[in-house]
Amino acid sequence: MRKYLLKRIGLAIGIVFAISLITFIILNIIPGDPAALMLGDMASPETIAKLREQMGLDRPLPEQYIAWIFRLITGDLGNSYFQKKPVLELIGYALYYTSRLAICAYAIALIIGITSGVIAAVFQGKAVDRILMTIAIMGISAPAFWVAILLQIYIALNFDIFPVSGANEPIGFVLPSIALGSRYAASIARITRTSMIETMNQDFIKTARAKGLKNYRIILVHALRNALLPIVTVIGSDIGSLLAGAMLTESVFNIPGIGKLLIDAINKRDLPIVQGTVMYIATVCVLIYLIVDILYAVIDPRIKLGEGSSE
Amino acid sequence: MKKNIRKSLALVLTTAIAGASIAGCGTRPESAGQDSSAQNSADSSAAQTSQTGATESSDYKVLRFGQALSGDGLDMQKSTSSTSASIADEVTESLLRFNDDNEEEVVLLTDFPEISEDGTVYSFELKEGVYFTDGTELTSEDVQFTFERMFKPETEAKSYSYFSMIKGADKVLSGEADTLEGFEVVDDYHFTITLDYAYAPFIENIGTSYADIFPKEATQAAGDNWGVGTNLIGTGPYVIQSNDDVSQVVLVKNENYHGGEVNLDEIDIIYYDDVTTKLLAYENGEIDLADLPADLLGQYQESYADQIHAYHPLGTNFISLNLQDEVLSDVNVRKAISLAINREELVETILNGAGIPATSYLNNQIPGHSDSNGVYEYDPEAAKALLAESGYEDGLVIDAEIRAADQTLYGAIQGYLAEVGITLNLNVVDNATWSSDRAAGSIDLTGITWNALYADADFQVYTYFYSDNSDGKSVFYHNDEFDKLLDDARSETDEAKRAELYEQADTILSLEDYAAIPLFYPQSQFIAKDYVKGFTVGNLIYHFWYVDIEK
C-alpha cells in the first residue's frame, strides 16, 4: 500500500509540474503583449519596452520559468499586473464565490438528480421514466450558459424574485445554481436510475418484500441506501470540476468567481493570474483525484498502480 | 468489512461536502483593498446605508450604475481608463474640470490661473477652506506633491506625458531629482508652475482626471495601495465607503463638500463584463443607469425610447493605415479606399444612425474641424480609376487586423472595397494581440476611434499622427509640413489662429495624404430610468455631480 501511495503521489506531483510547464509555454507563445495592453493607446514603443524590462518579460523564457517555479514552491504566485494585488489573495476572494456556487449547484443537482433517478427506476419502462430520462439527456446536452440565459430571460425578468445577476445576496445564487446544477442533476439521475434498478433486483429487496415491508420503506431505506454508493464515487470528480469555476455561468451571472477571474485575466494577458489560476485548478483536480484513488485502494486492495488487479 | 469501508468512504465524502458547505456559507471575504482603517468624514452618512441600496430612510437617494471593470485601480495617475475616471472623479478633483458641455470650469481654484505673456508661467490661487475627506486642508504642498509624484519612476504613472513640459519634469522622471524645478510654492494657497516652453493645451491638461489632486500624507501612507480598495481620498462630492475592486464600489455623500449640497446619498457602481447581462439587469430594475452600445441600440430603441439618451464624444472613427506597407504607401490606393466607402449609408445602416458621417479628421466639436468639403466623397468609379492608374486594375489584397467589436463595421467596409477591386482580408484578434501588434508596427490596416480628452485638436492629431507618435501606432506617417503646423499650433496662444493651423493640418492629413480615412464621429448612448434626473454626458467620462433621483 505504501508503495502504491508513493507512486500515486509522485505521479500527481509530476502531473502538476507538467501542467505548469505547458501553461507557461502556451501563455508565452500566444500573441499579445501585457505591457502594451497595460500602457494603453498612448504608449510609445520605447515606454512599452521599458515596462517589459521592468516586468522581466524581456528575459529568456527558461529563466522566467525557473524564477516562477521557485516562487510557486514558496507559495508566491506573484502580483496581478493590473490590479497589483497578490494572485493568491485574488484566487482566495474568487474561491469564496465559486465554492458557494459549487455547493448550491451540487446540492440542487443531488436533490433533483436522486429524486428523478429513484422515480424513474420505480416506474421503469413507463411514461414517467421515459419523460424523466429524456429531460436528463436534454440536461446533459444543454450548455450551462444557454440554460443560464434562458433562466435570466424567462424567470428573472418575469418574476420579481430573482436578480439577473450578482452574488452578494443568497437569492442571487439560485438561478446560477440551477443553471450549473442542471447538468450534474441529469447525470446523477441517470446513474441513480441504473443503480436503483440493479439494487431493486437483488435478493435482499425480495426478502424485504417477502417480509411485508411497505413499498416506500423498501425503496427509500433499503434500495436507495445501497444504490447511492455509485453516486458517492462520482461526487469527487464533480467537486473538482465545480471548484475549478464555471467560466460561462459565472460570466453570464456576473459572479466574481474563479472562472470569471481566469477569463478576465486571459483577455488582459494578466499572466500571473492566468498561471496562478491554472495551477490552482490543476492542483485541486489532481488532489481530488488522488484522494479518490487512494480511497479506492483502501476499499479494494487489489488496485495497485501498474500491477493489474489480479493481486 | 468491505461494506463498512464503503460506508466510511461515503461518510468521508459527505463530511467533506458538509464542511465545504459551512465554509461556503461564511462571511463574505474582505478584499485587501477594503481597508477598514480608511477614515473619512462621511462616516455619518455611511452608517445609514447597507450594500446595494438598502436604506433606512425613504428619502435616502441611491443611484445604481452598471459599467465595465477597468481593473487597474482608481489612481488616475496610473489608469487611463474612462471607466476608472467615472468613479475617481466623484472622489478626487483636479484644479479645473470639464463640465458636460465640455467647457472648462474652476474647481479648487479661486479663478483660472494667470498665464505669463510668453505662455510659460502659470500662477494659481487655491480656494481656502477646502478639505480632503480625511479632514486635512488642501494646500499648495498637496498640489506640489501630486505633480511631483506623477513623474517619480516608482509611481509608474501612465499619463505624465501630458505634463512633461513642466520645467524639471525630465529630471524627476529620470530619478536625478526629487522635486520639480518648475513648481514653486509661494504660500499655502499660492503656487506657480513654469513650463519649458509655451504649450497652449496645458491649461486643459490640468483639468483632466490625470491631474486629480491627492492629499500628501494619506497618499504616502497608502503607498502602492493608493487607488486600491478604499484607499482614495479627495476633495470630491463622494467618499468611497467600500470597494472590493472586483464586483462593486459604493460611494457615499461627502457631507462637507466644498462645492455645496450633494444630491445623492449613495452611488453603487456595479461592474458587469457582459453587456447583455448588464442590460438585462437594467430591465430587471437592478441598476438605474448603464451605457448602451450602438450594436444593441436597435434592440432597445423600440421598448425604451424615452429612456435612451444620446451624446457625442469628442472622437473620430477612422481607418488607420500603415504607410510603410508597399501597397498602402501609394497615395492613390489610400484615396481609393476613401472614395470606395459610402459613409452616410454606413452610419444609417450599420450604426443604426448612431453617428455623424465625417467631414474632416477632427471631430465636429473640436476647433479646427471643417465642414467646407462636406462628407468625404463616395465615388467607386473614381476609386477604380485611381487603382488602375497605380497598376491595380486587376485588383489588390490588403490585410486588416481588427478587434471583435469592429467586426460588423469592417464586414461592411470589406463589401465596399470589394466593389472597387480591393480584397480586404479580415483577421479578428483580441485586444491584447491587437495592442502588441500595433505597437510593433505590424498592422497594415485597422479601425479605431480616437477620442480627445477635451475639445482641443492637439490631443486628437498630435498624439496619433505627429511623426514621433505615429510609429507606435502602426502608421509611420512622416510629413514635415504637417509636423510643423502641429508644433506651431501647440505654442500659439491665439485660439482662432490655432484652429486655423489645425484645419490646415487636417486637410494635409485626410485630403491630400489620405494618411487617415475618417469614417464618422461616433454617437454614444446611455439608458436611464425616468426617475434619474439631471444626468448628461459631455465626453466619455460619466459624472454624477448634478444627478438626482426623483421617485
Which tens digit of pLDDT belongs to each residue from B58-85?
Answer: 689 999 999 988 778 899 999 888 899 9
Is the pLDDT score of B376 beyond 90? yes
- Does B404 touch chain A if contact means CB atoms closer than 8 Å? no
Interface of A with B in 49-68 (CB under 8 A): 54
Is residue B330 domain-shared with residue B238, that is, in the same domain?
A: no
Element of type H or E holding B115: strand B114-115
Strand order of the β-sheet with B238-243 is B238-243, B248-253, B266-271, B62-67, B289-292, B524-528, B308-311
**Domain count of chain A?**
1
What's this model's pTM, rounded to 2 decimal places?
0.82
A22 within a domain of the structure (yes/no):
no
- Does A252 touch chain B if contact means CB atoms closer than 8 Å? yes
Cβ atoms < 10 Å from Cβ of A197: 18
Interface of B with A in 249-308 (CB under 8 A): 270-274, 276-278, 280-281, 283-284, 286
pLDDT at A216: 81
Query: In whole angstroms, what is the distance from residue B544 CA to residue B551 CA?
Result: 17
Is residue B266 domain-shared with residue B326, that is, in the same domain?
A: no
B113, B123 in Cβ contact below 8 A?
yes
Of the candidates B445, B505, B413, B460, the one whose C-alpha atom is nearest the C-alpha of residue B316 is B460
Is residue B293 domain-shared with residue B408, that is, in the same domain?
A: no
pLDDT at B134: 94
Nearest CA in chain A to B29: A93
B158/A269 CB distance under 8 A: no
**Rounded (5°) CA angle B370-B373-B375:** 90
pLDDT at A224: 83
B110 φ/ψ angles, rounded to the nearest 5 degrees: -80, -30
- Does A156 touch chain B if contact means CB atoms closer than 8 Å? yes
Is residue B362 domain-shared with residue B490, that is, in the same domain?
A: yes
B63 CA to chain A: closest CA distance, Å?
Answer: 16
Give the residue from B280, B464, B474 with the most A CB atoms within 10 Å of its CB, the best one to mutate.
B280
B71/A83 CB distance under 8 A: yes
A285 CA to chain B: closest CA distance, Å?
Answer: 15
Query: In whole angstroms, what is the distance from residue B509 CA to residue B67 CA?
Result: 35
Which tens digit of pLDDT belongs to each residue from B102-119?
Answer: 889 999 999 999 999 999
Strands (DSSP E) contained in B234-295 are 238-243, 248-253, 266-271, 289-292
The pairing of beta strand B266-271 with beta strand B183-187:
unpaired
A260, A247 in Cβ contact below 8 A?
yes
Element of type H or E holding A26: helix A2-29
Give the least confident one: B49-58, B135-144, B301-310, B328-337.
B49-58
B21/A260 CB distance under 8 A: no
What's the CATH number where B206 sits?
Answer: 3.90.76.10
A254 CA to chain B: closest CA distance, Å?
Answer: 6
pLDDT at B76: 95
Query: In whole angstroms, what is the distance from residue B288 CA to residue B279 CA?
Result: 10
Is residue B38 domain-shared with residue B135, that is, in the same domain?
A: no
SS3 state of residue B184: strand
More confident position, B440 or B515: B515
| Closest CB from B6, B270, B280 relative to A229 | B6
More confident position, A218 or A42: A218
Query: In whole angstroms, what is the distance from residue A120 CA to residue B148 CA?
Result: 73
State the alpha helices, DSSP H only, in A86-200. Answer: 87-122, 127-141, 144-151, 174-200
B247 within a domain of the structure (yes/no):
yes
More confident position, A238 or A130: A130
Which of residues B179, B213, B247 is at a domain's end? B213
Of the candidates B114, B99, B64, the one whose C-alpha atom is nearest the C-alpha of residue B248 is B64
Please tell me what DSSP assigns to residue B305: G
Q: Average pLDDT over chain A, rounded to whole?
A: 84
Query: In whole angstroms, what is the distance from residue A216 CA to residue B437 CA?
Result: 68
- Does A157 touch chain B if contact means CB atoms closer than 8 Å? yes
What's the CATH number where A109 sits?
Answer: 1.10.3720.10
B120, B195 in Cβ contact below 8 A?
yes
| Closest CB from A94, A99, A152 relative to B23 | A99
B10/A100 CB distance under 8 A: no
A59 within a domain of the structure (yes/no):
no
Query: In whole angstroms, what is the distance from residue B178 CA to residue B216 CA?
Result: 15
B307 CA to chain A: closest CA distance, Å?
Answer: 18
pLDDT > 90: percent of chain B: 70
Which tens digit of pLDDT belongs to each residue from B150-193?
Answer: 999 889 888 888 999 999 999 998 889 999 999 999 999 999 99
Interface of B with A in 141-160 (CB under 8 A): 156, 158-159
Q: What is the DSSP string of B429-496?
A: E-HHHHHHHHHTT--SEEEEEEE-SSS-HHHHHHHHHSHHHHGGGT-----HHHHHHHHHHHH---HH
B123 φ/ψ angles, rounded to the nearest 5 degrees: -110, 130
A165/B440 CB distance under 8 A: no
- Does A115 touch chain B if contact means CB atoms closer than 8 Å? no
pLDDT at B471: 87
Binned at pLDDT 50, 70 and 90, residue A268 comes out as confident
Is residue B394 domain-shared with residue B262, that is, in the same domain?
A: no
A17 within a domain of the structure (yes/no):
no
B221 within a domain of the structure (yes/no):
no
Is residue B496 domain-shared with residue B515, that is, in the same domain?
A: yes
B469 within a domain of the structure (yes/no):
yes
Which tens digit of pLDDT belongs to each residue from B263-292?
Answer: 999 999 999 988 999 999 999 999 999 999
Which tens digit of pLDDT belongs to each residue from B423-454?
Answer: 999 999 988 889 888 888 899 999 999 988 88
Q: Which string of b and e fits B406-443 if b means at least 16 CB within 10 Å?
A: beebbebbbebbeebbbebeeeebbbbbbbbbbbebeb
pLDDT > 70: percent of chain B: 89
Is residue B336 domain-shared with residue B300, that is, in the same domain?
A: no
Please tell me what DSSP assigns to residue B408: H
Angle between helices B495-507 and B457-465 (to 10 degrees): 40
- Does B17 touch chain A if contact means CB atoms closer than 8 Å? yes
More confident position, A290 or B278: B278
**Rounded (5°) CA angle A278-A283-A289:** 125
Please tell me what DSSP assigns to residue B325: S
A119 within a domain of the structure (yes/no):
yes
B10 CA to chain A: closest CA distance, Å?
Answer: 6
Q: What percent helix, strand, coil does chain B show, rounded to 5?
A: 35, 20, 45
Which tens digit of pLDDT belongs to each residue from B214-260?
Answer: 999 999 999 989 999 999 999 999 999 999 888 899 999 999 999 99
pLDDT > 90: percent of chain A: 22
Is residue B194 domain-shared with residue B272, that is, in the same domain?
A: no
- Does A143 touch chain B if contact means CB atoms closer than 8 Å? no
Range of the domain at B358: 315-522
A307 within a domain of the structure (yes/no):
no
B218 within a domain of the structure (yes/no):
no
A37 φ/ψ angles, rounded to the nearest 5 degrees: -70, -40
Element of type H or E holding A251: helix A247-252
| Closest CB from B80, B274, B283 relative to A157 | B283
pLDDT at A215: 80
Binned at pLDDT 50, 70 and 90, residue B529 comes out as very high
B27 within a domain of the structure (yes/no):
yes
Q: Which residues lie below 8 Å from residue A229, measured CB to CB, with a gap of 6+?
A: A195, B6, B10
B82 within a domain of the structure (yes/no):
yes
A273 within a domain of the structure (yes/no):
yes
Alpha-carbon torsion (B411, B414, B415, B416), positive or negative: positive
Q: Average pLDDT over chain B, rounded to whole?
A: 88
B246/A96 CB distance under 8 A: no
| Closest CB from B23, B73, B278 relative to A84 | B73
Element of type H or E holding B516: strand B516-522
Give counts: helices (H), strands (E), chain B. 18, 21
Interface of B with A in 420-459 (CB under 8 A): 429-433, 435-441, 450
B273/A251 CB distance under 8 A: yes
- Does B11 touch chain A if contact means CB atoms closer than 8 Å? no
Give the residue from B317, B435, B449, B450 with the most A CB atoms within 10 Å of its CB, the best one to mutate.
B435
Nearest CA in chain B to A225: B7
- Say which amino acid occupies B498: R
Q: Is B331 exposed, middle or buried (0-12, 13-18, 19+ CB in 10 A)?
A: middle
Is residue B232 domain-shared with residue B339, that is, in the same domain?
A: no
Element of type H or E holding B526: strand B524-528
Is residue B518 domain-shared with residue B537, that is, in the same domain?
A: no
Query: In whole angstroms, what is the distance from residue B61 CA to residue B288 CA?
Result: 12
A85 within a domain of the structure (yes/no):
no
Is residue B354 domain-shared with residue B486, that is, in the same domain?
A: yes
Interface of B with A in 216-245 (CB under 8 A): 224-225, 228, 244-245
- Does A260 touch chain B if contact means CB atoms closer than 8 Å? yes
Give counts: helices (H), strands (E), chain A. 14, 0
A148 within a domain of the structure (yes/no):
yes
**Domain count of chain B?**
3
Give the residue from A79, A93, A239, A271 with the most B CB atoms within 10 Å of its CB, the best one to mutate.
A93
B26 φ/ψ angles, rounded to the nearest 5 degrees: -70, -170
Range of the domain at A112: 95-302
What's the CATH number where B544 sits?
Answer: 3.40.190.10
Q: Which residue do the cell numbers 459551512 mark?
A: B22
